[in-house]
């Protein structure tokens, strides 16, 4: 059948091209459409087939809010207005050449309209972000009506102009397509059951298109190589794709759209079969394609939008076209059995004519009406039993056994309890009762109302919508601004323009966001079970003042913002409530910065991880690992905090326990790590904001004091000599970042650097050790003549100090007291110490001695002022003497370990593990505390030291991981951390300290090599994970291997070009030995474990390599190690180096004495004064 158009006048030539484009020749010389004489298939039938009934089929007509003739402003440069037939529906404002046209010349997505205003005589302006359209009506009334409906249509989103972004469509396929007869290509978008044409991609992005084609009347046919036709009863669109391949894609996408359209119309056609369902139950608009499935009404899209505003506890809104799954046969039958007319005999029994809606009613009226009708039940027909709960329930139970659906509806919405007890054990609920009595439709109706909130008429009849009370289950909605979801952390500031305004709802355990409050289909949803973390940003982090981040199970991050603090607070509260289980409910009462779930293990049970619920507030981590049992972890008081195993485990060591938090997902884990680290770091420059020990002393202070006590008490001029300024600055910075992780080590750190770090800490301390408020009182006390009176005054002042200051002062004065007790060794007597510490602690310039006097008093009367137990103090002094003696005796051979000599070292939660020495016998057992930072060498040394085993040169004592019934073993690299090994191995693995006999030979071998690589034959066997059982398969086969700095490649034989396998060397763990069960052909075998720690696909493979000789095996092994550890197989200075260090200061670094050691008091004061004014000044003076 020919669809061609007979001749017609030129002004009737219709263009598909949007006429506000530069290409506006359509009304003049050369139409972009081939004219009629070309017999093109682009024809516009005006007769015959274009009967009104066919047009009715177009869903574009269904929801038309207003239509009529308007003059549209001409394209740029043109002079006269063009007469256009204009139609408005919820989604689009479209304009056509005439009223018979099916395909518009242009369409503007209402979602992108930013403002509508009257301009000049009879004119009005429709503005989008990028473009303004001007229309002229025929009368003032007409103009005002258009403005009114347009505003109403876009009213829900008086968005800031910058916020419109993205597309209202969720495209299935898109790209440029040539439309035969047009000079330029069109940006074509296949979305759901429609095809949209845009002039270009930019227009698509701003929601200004040419036309849309409903695919329910479409048919797609291939024509030749690159072209295909989309035919509809009104027009044939001949498209040309860029390639044959592309054509196939397009045809496929469009056919799918047709399929979608046809299946979409299935439900709707059936529902409309009941005549009263073909107009909206609320406003009467034709062809309603939405429904409130619990209220049993079929409604139009605009009314559906208002229904959604009520929340799903009142109205469960579903599309007849898109929500195919909910439309069970039973539900369709319920809607056919009831029908809008009968249902309205209940819902709309008493509507005052003044309140009734019409299809053209504005949203305000709609909202009011729909709220009255369903939330308040204002117009319903009251059931005779209304108010009598028992009778209602009773009636419901009886009625559901018969087929009267309307009565059930009436009972439910007049207060009968859908969940009431029937009193029958066999069918305890009305729903089961209905099912038992073969009333599936009754059961279906009940099922959709199990959680429905009953209509409640407000006494004053008011329409106060703002005070919507959420039902007991968390429910909340409102506008938020959202950025596109992300697969990475938000590191940059997001400006307002990056956010789009979205209508968000939280209901039935689902958080959804919509294009606007008019849309019924969410742009996206997140189930509460998918939310793993909620993080509240500090105000003003982004363009919106208040923002929060949601992290999903699938590792996406969603950023939401608002300028309204109350709304922000409410959203955070409600979302947290929706996904935090009742067992961790107290977390919700905290004003957390971050809340969510994480997998973790604790020191008591390393084998099994469990889910923990965490909330972070300030520097406290609140944890629920077990039901209803909350714990608090004070992050600034942790003994240790580290991220281990390739950033996959966060280890928190606190007094008495160790907690491992595992990174199950990348994003939220990284967020937690950063937040916990920040919270555990020093929070600022005041004393109480530092990382603290259990006894409330800053970690930095105690670290320095401990270090000086051990290594510096005999150092001449300790605290008077200056360190190297750059090193002091670096130490201060390291402490500031994470004091806990810094372990001061002799040899690595110089005594004078550490002593100056301590001084600088106190000097720079905000508010000082004595507090800004009270500092002068302390100084004033020095003037008191009577000693006893003075001491009492100091005691009073001491009690006035905050807890942390008091504890810190006591620790420091205790330390200084000890220092001056050894003045014969270090030359720092009471007076000298006071000169140095007075100005430092009081933060004065040191020009007069008042501050020094105060410190002198405090040290001198330490015992009285601080009420010190003298016995305890003497014990401490004895210990220090022992240290000094031991250091003299041992000289540099052995380390002095913290734990043995220092009672102040606190009990910590380090994992205690059993380590064997030389043999796996009970008598060889050692129980060792393993801090997270402990290396294999440190562990080996610790064990040897306990057993008093001296370490000789070329004794390659190592820590071995022994597993598989001791059939395979692996010496840990000396720098390898021990804790991750304990953390990852099963019960069958053991740690054994023994010598590594082959080390010397390996080092010698590697010394002969120019480059580290190896190739040769080995016998290979693989262990494939078969059905997850890890059954060994196959036998040993000869293979050729090449090992180089990056990978191990396996070839079938020497001549093969292509490797059969290729492993990254860094991911391999090599054990010596092979399980006997596998019958290795030689006894020189290696077991190789390949572990890939990829987030998405963790992988573990195991295979075996057999060598002909021991030498061969050793060489392979040495090469592996050398590559993995970049040639660093053994500490250069032997194992001792790992713990023992030089006591003598490293003079190479120029340990210049900046303060004259034995100078006059005046010289000392001046240099202290200079130091306090400009830390660098002294350095400059000297140089
Ligand atoms: Zn309606």
Q: Which of 142-151, 297-306, 599-608, 750-759 has the lowest mean pLDDT?
A: 599-608
User: How far is ligand 1, taken at its centre, from the CA of residue 166, in Å?
Assistant: 28
- Is the CB of residue 665 less than 8 Å from the CB of residue 532? yes
Q: Which of 603-607, 821-825, 850-854, 1035-1039 has the lowest mean pLDDT?
A: 603-607
Instruction: Quote the percentage of the chain above a pLDDT of 70.
Output: 81
User: How far is ligand 1, taken at its centre, from the CA of residue 773, in Å?
Assistant: 70
Q: How far apart are the first and last CA of the chain?
A: 101
pLDDT band per the 50, 70, 90 thresholds, residue 778 = very high
* pLDDT at 878 (0 to 100): 85
Let me know how long the chain is.
1183
Q: Does the structure show a pLDDT above 50 at 576?
A: yes
CA pair distance 380, 374, nearest whole angstrom: 9
Q: Considering only CA atoms, which of 555, 674, 696, 540 is closest in space to residue 616?
A: 674
User: How far is ligand 1, taken at its centre, from the CA of residue 331, in Å?
Assistant: 21
User: How far is ligand 1, taken at its centre, from the CA of residue 301, in Å?
Assistant: 7
**Percent helix, strand, coil in the chain (nearest 5)?**
35, 25, 40
Beta-carbon-side half-sphere exposure of residue 1061 (alpha carbons within 13 Å): 16
Q: pLDDT (tens digit, 9 = 90+) per residue, 268-313?
A: 889 999 999 999 999 998 889 899 999 999 999 889 888 988 888 8
Rounded mean pLDDT, 177-194: 86
* pLDDT at 1078 (0 to 100): 80
CA pair distance 229, 238, nearest whole angstrom: 4
pLDDT band per the 50, 70, 90 thresholds, residue 370 = very high
* pLDDT at 25 (0 to 100): 31
* pLDDT at 76 (0 to 100): 66
Q: Does the structure show a pLDDT above 50 at 461?
A: no
Rounded mean pLDDT, 912-929: 75
User: How far is ligand 1, taken at its centre, from the CA of residue 1048, in Å?
Assistant: 69
Query: How is residue 559 written in tokens?
Result: 């950023």
User: How far is ligand 1, taken at its centre, from the CA of residue 315, in Å?
Assistant: 14
User: How far is ligand 1, taken at its centre, from the CA of residue 374, in Å?
Assistant: 14
CA pair distance 305, 307, nearest whole angstrom: 5
User: How far is ligand 1, taken at its centre, from the CA of residue 344, in Å?
Assistant: 13
- Is the CB of residue 235 less than 8 Å from the CB of residue 214? no
Angle at CA 213, nearest 5°, toward 208 and 219?
A: 155
* pLDDT at 1162 (0 to 100): 55
User: How far is ligand 1, taken at its centre, from the CA of residue 286, in Å?
Assistant: 8
pLDDT band per the 50, 70, 90 thresholds, residue 1096 = low
Q: Which of 200-209, 574-583, 773-782, 888-897 has the lowest mean pLDDT?
A: 888-897
pLDDT band per the 50, 70, 90 thresholds, residue 43 = very low
Q: pLDDT (tens digit, 9 = 90+) per residue, 665-720?
A: 888 998 999 898 888 877 677 888 888 887 888 989 998 998 898 888 888 889 98
Helices (H), 273-399: 301-310, 329-347, 363-370, 389-399
Which pTM value belongs to this model?
0.41
Is the four-CA dihedral 505, 511, 515, 520 of positive or negative sign? negative
* pLDDT at 1106 (0 to 100): 93
User: How far is ligand 1, taken at its centre, from the CA of residue 370, in Å?
Assistant: 10
User: How far is ligand 1, taken at its centre, from the CA of residue 304, in Å?
Assistant: 7
CA pair distance 799, 329, nearest whole angstrom: 79
User: How far is ligand 1, taken at its centre, from the CA of residue 448, in Å?
Assistant: 22
* pLDDT at 601 (0 to 100): 80
What pairing do the DSSP bridges indicate for beta strands 290-292 and 1014-1023? unpaired
User: How far is ligand 1, taken at its centre, from the CA of residue 358, in Å?
Assistant: 8
CA pair distance 457, 437, nearest whole angstrom: 34
pLDDT band per the 50, 70, 90 thresholds, residue 211 = very high
* pLDDT at 172 (0 to 100): 81
pLDDT band per the 50, 70, 90 thresholds, residue 980 = low
User: How far is ligand 1, taken at its centre, from the CA of residue 443, in Å?
Assistant: 27
Residue of 879 and 7 predicted with greater confidence: 879
User: How far is ligand 1, taken at its centre, from the CA of residue 355, in Å?
Assistant: 14
User: How far is ligand 1, taken at its centre, from the CA of residue 279, in Å?
Assistant: 8
Angle at CA 779, nearest 5°, toward 776 and 782?
A: 150
Residue corresponding to tokens 């419109």: 164
How confident is the prediction for the chain on average, in pLDDT?
A: 79
Q: Does the structure show a pLDDT above 90 at 736?
A: no
Q: pLDDT (tens digit, 9 = 90+) per residue, 109-143?
A: 888 888 888 888 889 999 888 788 899 999 988 99
CB neighbour burial string for 845-882, b if at least 16 within 10 angstroms, e if fewer: ebeebbbbbbbbbbbbbbeebbebeeeebeebeebbee
pLDDT band per the 50, 70, 90 thresholds, residue 466 = very low
Q: pLDDT (tens digit, 9 = 90+) per residue, 495-541?
A: 988 899 998 988 877 888 888 887 777 888 888 888 999 999 988 88
Rounded mean pLDDT, 50-66: 47
Q: Does the structure show a pLDDT above 70 at 40?
A: no
pLDDT band per the 50, 70, 90 thresholds, residue 24 = very low
* pLDDT at 812 (0 to 100): 95
Q: Does the structure show a pLDDT above 50 at 155?
A: yes
């Amino acid at each position: 059948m020919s669809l061609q158009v007979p001749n017609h006048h030129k002004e009737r030539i219709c263009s598909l091209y949007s006429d506000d484009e530069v290409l506006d020749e359509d009304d003049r010389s050369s139409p972009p459409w081939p004219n009629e004489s070309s017999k093109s298939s682009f024809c516009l039938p005006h007769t015959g087939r274009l009967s009104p009934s066919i047009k009715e089929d177009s869903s574009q007509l269904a929801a038309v809010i207003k239509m009529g003739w308007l003059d549209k402003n001409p394209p740029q440069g043109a002079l006269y207005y063009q007469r256009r037939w204009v139609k408005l529906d919820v989604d689009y404002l479209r304009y056509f050449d005439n009223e018979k046209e099916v395909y518009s010349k242009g369409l503007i997505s209402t979602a992108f309209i930013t403002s509508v205003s009257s301009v000049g005589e009879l004119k009005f302006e429709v503005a989008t972000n990028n473009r303004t359209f001007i229309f002229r009506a025929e009368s003032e009334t007409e103009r005002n009506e258009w403005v009114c409906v347009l505003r109403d249509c876009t009213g829900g989103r008086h968005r800031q102009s910058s916020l419109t972004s993205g597309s209202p469509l969720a495209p299935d396929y898109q790209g440029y397509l040539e439309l035969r007869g047009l000079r330029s290509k069109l940006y074509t978008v296949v979305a759901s059951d429609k095809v949209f044409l845009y002039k270009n991609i930019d227009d698509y992005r701003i929601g200004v298109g040419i036309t849309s084609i409903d695919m329910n009347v479409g048919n797609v046919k291939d024509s030749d190589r690159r072209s295909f036709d989309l035919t509809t009863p009104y027009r044939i669109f001949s498209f040309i794709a860029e390639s044959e391949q592309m054509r196939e894609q397009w045809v496929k996408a469009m056919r799918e759209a047709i399929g979608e359209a046809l299946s979409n119309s299935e439900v709707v056609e059936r529902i409309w079969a009941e005549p009263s369902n073909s107009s909206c139950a609320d406003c009467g608009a034709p062809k309603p394609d939405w429904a409130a499935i619990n209220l049993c009404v079929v409604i139009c899209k605009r009314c559906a939008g208002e229904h959604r505003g009520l929340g799903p506890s009142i109205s469960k809104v579903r599309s007849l076209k898109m929500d195919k799954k909910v439309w069970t046969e039973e539900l369709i039958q319920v809607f056919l059995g009831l029908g809008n007319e009968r249902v309205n005999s209940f819902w709309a029994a008493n509507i005052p004519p003044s309140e009734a809606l019409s299809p053209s009613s504005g949203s305000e009226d709609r909202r009011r009406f729909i709220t009255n009708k369903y939330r308040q039940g204002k117009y319903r027909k009251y059931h005779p039993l209304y108010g009598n709960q028992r009778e209602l329930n009773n009636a419901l139970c009886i009625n559901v056994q018969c087929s009267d659906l309307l009565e059930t509806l009436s009972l439910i919405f007049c207060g009968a309890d859908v969940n009431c007890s029937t009193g029958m054990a066999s069918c305890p609920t009305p729903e089961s009762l209905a099912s038992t009595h073969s009333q599936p439709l009754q059961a279906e109706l009940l099922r959709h109302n199990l959680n429905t909130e009953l209509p409640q008429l407000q006494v004053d009849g008011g329409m106060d919508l703002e005070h919507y009370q959420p039902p007991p289950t968390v429910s909340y909605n409102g506008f938020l601004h959202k950025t596109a979801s992300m697969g990475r952390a938000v590191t940059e500031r997001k400006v307002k323009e990056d956010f789009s305004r979205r209508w968000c709802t939280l209901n039935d355990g689902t958080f959804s966001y919509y294009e606007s409050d008019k849309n019924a289909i969410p742009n996206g949803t997140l189930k509460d079970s998918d939310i793993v973390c909620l993080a509240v940003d500090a105000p003003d982090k982004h363009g919106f003042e208040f923002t929060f981040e949601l992290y999903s199970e699938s590792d996406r991050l969603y950023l939401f913002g608002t300028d309204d603090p109350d709304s922000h607070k409410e959203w955070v509260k409600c979302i947290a409530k929706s996904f935090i289980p009742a067992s961790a409910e107290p977390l919700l009462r905290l004003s957390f910065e971050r809340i969510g779930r994480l997998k973790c293990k604790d020191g008591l049970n390393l084998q099994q991880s469990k889910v923990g619920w965490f909330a972070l507030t300030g520097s406290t981590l609140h944890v629920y690992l077990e039901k209803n049992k909350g714990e608090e972890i004070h992050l600034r008081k942790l003994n240790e905090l580290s991220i281990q195993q390739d950033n996959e485990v966060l280890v928190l060591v606190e007094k008495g326990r160790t907690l491992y938090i595992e990174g199950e997902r990348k994003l939220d884990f990284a967020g937690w790590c950063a937040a916990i680290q920040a919270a555990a770091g020093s929070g600022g420059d005041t004393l109480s904001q530092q990382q603290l020990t259990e006894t409330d002393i800053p970690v930095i202070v105690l670290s320095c004091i401990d270090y000086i006590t051990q290594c510096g008490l005999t150092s001449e001029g300790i605290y008077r000599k200056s360190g190297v300024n750059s090193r002091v600055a670096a130490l201060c910075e390291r402490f500031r970042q994470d004091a806990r992780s810094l372990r001061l080590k002799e040899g690595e750190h110089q005594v004078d650097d550490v002593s100056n770090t301590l001084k600088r800490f106190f000097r720079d301390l905000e508010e000082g050790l004595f507090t800004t408020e009270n500092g002068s009182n302390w100084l004033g006390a020095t003037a008191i003549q009577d000693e006893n009176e003075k001491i009492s005054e100091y005691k009073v002042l001491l009690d006035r100090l905050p807890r942390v200051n008091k504890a810190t002062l006591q620790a420091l004065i205790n330390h200084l007291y000890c220092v001056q007790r050894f003045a014969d060794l270090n030359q720092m007597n009471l007076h000298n110490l006071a000169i140095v510490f007075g100005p430092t602690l009081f933060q004065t310039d040191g020009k007069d001695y008042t501050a020094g006097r105060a410190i002198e008093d405090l040290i001198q009367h330490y015992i009285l002022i601080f009420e010190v137990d003298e016995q305890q103090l003497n014990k401490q002094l004895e210990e220090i003497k022992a240290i000094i003696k031991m250091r003299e005796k041992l000289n540099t051979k052995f380390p002095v370990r913290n734990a043995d000599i220092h009672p102040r070292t606190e009990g910590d939660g380090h994992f205690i593990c059993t380590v064997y020495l030389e043999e796996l016998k009970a008598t060889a057992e050692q129980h060792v505390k393993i801090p997270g930072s402990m290396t294999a060498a440190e562990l080996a040394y610790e064990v040897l030291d306990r057993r008093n085993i001296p370490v000789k040169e070329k004794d390659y004592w190592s820590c071995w991981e022994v597993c598989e019934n001791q059939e395979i073993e692996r010496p840990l690299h000396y720098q390898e951390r021990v804790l991750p090994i304990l953390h990852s191995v099963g019960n069958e693995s053991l740690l054994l300290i023994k010598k590594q006999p082959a080390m010397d030979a390996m080092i010698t071998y590697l010394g002969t090599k120019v480059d580290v690589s190896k190739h040769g034959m080995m016998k290979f066997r693989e262990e494939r994970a078969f059905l997850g059982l890890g059954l060994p398969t196959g036998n040993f086969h000869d293979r050729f291997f090449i090992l180089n700095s990056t990978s191990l490649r396996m070839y079938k034989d020497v001549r093969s070009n292509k490797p059969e396998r290729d492993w990254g060397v860094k991911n391999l763990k090599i054990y010596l030995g092979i399980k006997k069960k596998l019958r290795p052909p030689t006894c020189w075998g290696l077991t190789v474990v390949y572990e890939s720690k990829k987030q998405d696909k963790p992988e573990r493979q195991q295979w075996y390599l057999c060598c002909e000789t021991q030498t061969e095996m050793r060489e392979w092994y040495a090469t592996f190690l050398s590559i993995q550890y970049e040639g660093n197989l053994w500490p250069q200075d032997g194992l001792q180096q790992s713990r023992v260090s030089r006591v003598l200061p490293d003079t190479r670094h120029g340990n210049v004495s900046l303060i004259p050691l034995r100078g006059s008091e005046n010289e000392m004061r001046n240099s202290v004064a200079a130091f306090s004014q400009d830390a660098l000044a002294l350095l400059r003076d000297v140089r």
